[in-house]
Structure 1
Amino acid sequence: MFELIKPGTNFDFVGKNKFFVTLSGILVLASLIVIFTTGLNFGIDFSGGTEIHLKFDKPVSTEQIRGIVEKSGYTKANILTIGSEQKEYVIRVAEFASLKESDVQNIKNTIINEYGKDRIKKLKFSGESGDKIEVKFSEEIDISKLKEFLIGKGIECIDVKREGKTTEFQYLIILAGISKKLQESLEKEISGIKVEIIGVDAVGPQVGKDLRTSGLLAAIYSLLAITIYVAFRFDFRFAPGAFLSLLHDGLITLGVLTLLRFEFDMTGLAAIMTLLGYSINDTIVVYDRVRENL
């Protein structure tokens, strides 16, 4: 029977603790420098952007779509295939303006004239995109009526959503700018094809900021909860080691993700939390062995 490591083999890891501690310290320090100087490459979930669900009447390759999307000016688009027929795709793009300055001002004036300047506490186009409008009212309004009003005025409004805190009357108006532009580009570049917009979803800058804060707090609370659990389950002397091991694994992983410019979104956060779970599991196994020999 093939055995990679023979029974009774002992590795003196503890005897080389100075080397491994130094190596870990260097890697953690390098990770911190990369994270704070370069910054994480936040995805749409954390930075804001638009997600467009499209359906084609004929099969289209991802490469075809990517080429047309990049040609339209969306160089950092994320394209996902739905199903195996290559007819449905989800395209995620960062925020880009697709409206002229005159269009922007016209929409602003239309909203102000209808609802009154006194009732509007904030009115701005989010980030660099003229396709999403953030409006904050002094009181709650009917979302469906706002959408109907905008469409009635000839403004291509796809959806209106409430965002921010429940105590605030803040709304996100999603216009047809980006989705319409991509639909027209795809139908123009691929002859004889029809593109249907199934849905458009957007993450406003405020929501993205809230998600980043919530994700950071979730990670901190998890670390504290694990540290408290280890302290009571084993020994108070073991808790700092568990905490440091989690920081070590998490920071080095984030450093690698930052260095390679991988997109960090909700999926990435879930992956980091999963990694921390496996990390503490291994730490607890080691602590069990240590306790048996105390």
Structure 2
Amino acid sequence: MQIFDKGKIYNFMGMRWIMFIISAILFFGSIGLLFTKGLSYGIDFAGGTLIQVKYHDKDAPIDLIRERFSTNEILKNASITEFGSASEITIRYTTTSDSLGNNPGAFVSEILKGTGEFEIRRVDVVGPKIGSELREKGIMAVAVSLVLILIYIGVRFEWRFALAAILSEIHDVVIVLGAISLLSIDVNLDTLAAILTVLGYSLNDTIIIFDRIRERVKESKFIKLFEVINESVSLTLSRTLMTSVTTLLAVFTLFFYGGDMIHGFSVIMIIGILIGTMSSVFIAAPMLSWFRFSVENYRASIVTKELRKKEKEKLRAMYEKGTV
């Protein structure tokens, strides 16, 4: 589906400094947030217990529940919040079942006795050691993904494209982590899945643009890099817009109707798609100039490779005929 005029070339690189400034503010602002506010680790990574309680006859009496918990020495620092509706709450605390017996749900039910008709809908318990291991493996998963991306693009294109892509991916991850810190989204396995999904989405968008840049370097009438980038991005603009819009429509559906369970996941995906689309055009592509990528040199290298290929084919033909 072609939305934009295929023959028209838009001057994206004319806006690159404005977008660089915006990206720099977001990037360094995110780093500042990560150092000052930090990340809020969920049960999966920090360890602890999460209990979900549903009241049937009325809204959850949060003030009364907090008062009950405040009198318990072990659970006085528990976090009690609404979950999706006023009648449903989650209770989070760092104490594991070892301190409260083998059934933390029954222990909490005893504390809540007399507060109304309720049921325990979910009990998640993660030990601190397991949480630490999951956190380390999560960090390793992101790091390995970035290394594999670097190798893949280095093999498929060349080292300048690989470095530009990996720096763009790091840019996206840092800004997404900054948004997670700013919005106080719990970092858990769902969050990690969202970050890895954003990495894959942004990489796919970047590769599409890089592929078109490489194609136009060979065939374009332009000899300046930014002119070739403008042409390449303009040719992929309809595809980029349609992919982003259709993906955002699906994610917005999850955001509005998916419930609190995947609310954090959908928020991260929305931010990641917007940042990933922007970075593919205004961060990854212009970075090629930072690494001294030259259209003329690239074309010359292609001609040299073609001449070597023809020479090899000529020598092979002469060898097969017995003239060598």
Indicate the TM-score class for this superposition, using the shorter chain for normalisation. Answer: 0.5 to 0.7
Pick from 216, 232, 236: which aligns with 1:293?
216
- Counterparts of 2:63 and 2:5, CA distance in 1: 54
1:68-99 Cα deviation digits (max 9, x unpaired): 54443466346668xxxx99x7845122xxxx
C-alpha separation between the residues in 1 aligned to 2:216 and 2:188? 43
2:182 corresponds to which of 232, 246, 259: 259
> Which consecutive residues of structure 2, in runs of 5 or more, have no partner in the other structure?
71-76, 218-324
Please say if residues 79 and 92 of structure 1, whose CA atoms lie closer than 8 Å, have aligned partners that are also in contact: no
Moved more, 221-230 or 11-20: 11-20
Matched-pair contact (CA < 8 Å) for 1:65–1:186: no
1:11 partner letter:
Y
- Residue of structure 1 aligned with 2:108, choices 179, 182, 185: 182
Percent pairwise identity: 34
Q: Secondary structure at the match of 1:64?
A: coil
- 1:55 is displaced (CA, Å) by 7.5
1:263 is matched by which residue type in structure 2? D
Is the contact between residue 246 and residue 280 of structure 1 (CA under 8 Å) also seen in structure 2?
yes
Give the counterpart letter for 1:76 in structure 2. Answer: S
**What TM-score, normalized to structure 1?**
0.61
Deviation readout 1:139-173 (Å, 9 max, x if unpaired) = xxxxxxxxxxxxxxxxx731xxxxxxxxxxxxxxx
Q: Which amino acid aligns with 1:46?
A: F
Aligned counterpart in structure 2 of residue 224 of structure 1, from 147, 167, 184: 147
What CA distance in whole angstroms lies between the structure 2 residues aligned with 1:253 and 1:199? 29
Letter in 1 for 2:19: F
For residues 39-63 of structure 1, what are the alpha-carbon distances to aligned partners after superposition, in whole Å with 9 as ceiling and x for unaligned?
Answer: 101111111111336687xx356x4
Q: Hey, what's the Cα distance between the residues in 2 that align with 1:218 and 1:254? A: 15
Cα deviation for residue 38 of structure 1 reads: 0.9
2:101 is aligned, of 151, 157, 164, to 157
SS of the equivalent of 1:188 reads: coil
Look up the equivalent residue of 1:187 and give its one-letter code: K
TM-score, normalized by length of structure 2? 0.56
> Per-residue CA shift, 1:212-265, capped at 9, x if unaligned?
111001100011011111111122221001101111111101101101212221
1:284 to 207, 213, 217: 207
Distance 1:79 1:202 in 2: 19
**Structure 2 counterpart of 1:52:** 51
Paired with 2:111 and 2:152, the residues of 1 have a C-alpha distance of 56
Match of 1:123 in 2: none
Tell me which protein shows more strand as a share of its residues: 1
Relative distance call for 1:291 and 1:242 in structure 2 (3 A) is same
Change in CA separation of 1:272 and 1:67 when aligned onto 2, cut-off 3 Å: farther
| Residue of 27, 39, 64 corresponding to 2:60 | 64
1:68–1:214 distance in 2 versus 1, CA, 3 Å: farther
* Distance apart, 1:8 and its partner CA: 3.9
Are the counterparts in 2 of residues 68 and 186 from structure 1 also a CA contact under 8 Å? no
Q: Distance in 1 between matches of 2:96 and 2:166?
A: 45
Radius of gyration: which is bigger?
2
1: distance between equivalents of 2:126 and 2:32? 29
Answering whether residue 166 of structure 2 is matched by residue 243 of structure 1, we say yes
Taking a change above 3 Å as real, the CA distance of residues 19 and 200 of structure 1, as seen in their structure-2 partners, is closer
Distance 1:130 1:201 in 2: 10
AA aligned opposite 1:12: N
- Aligned AA (2:181): T
Equivalent in the alignment of 1:120: none
Are 1:212 and 2:135 matched, yes or no? Answer: yes
The change in CA–CA distance for 1:36 and 1:60 in structure 2 (over 3 A counts) is farther
Maintained 8 Å contact 2:47/2:128: yes
CA separation in 1, counterparts of 2:180 and 2:122? 31
Aligned 8 A contact 1:68 1:185 in 2: no
2:14 partner SS: helix
**Alignment partners' CA distance in 2, 1:230 and 1:287:** 10
| Deviation readout 1:1-36 (Å, 9 max, x if unpaired) | xx9755544321123323322332222111111101
Q: 1:49–1:92: 8 Å Cα contact kept in structure 2? A: no
Q: SS at the partner of 2:51?
A: strand
Kept in 2, the 8 Å contact 1:69–1:75? The answer is: no
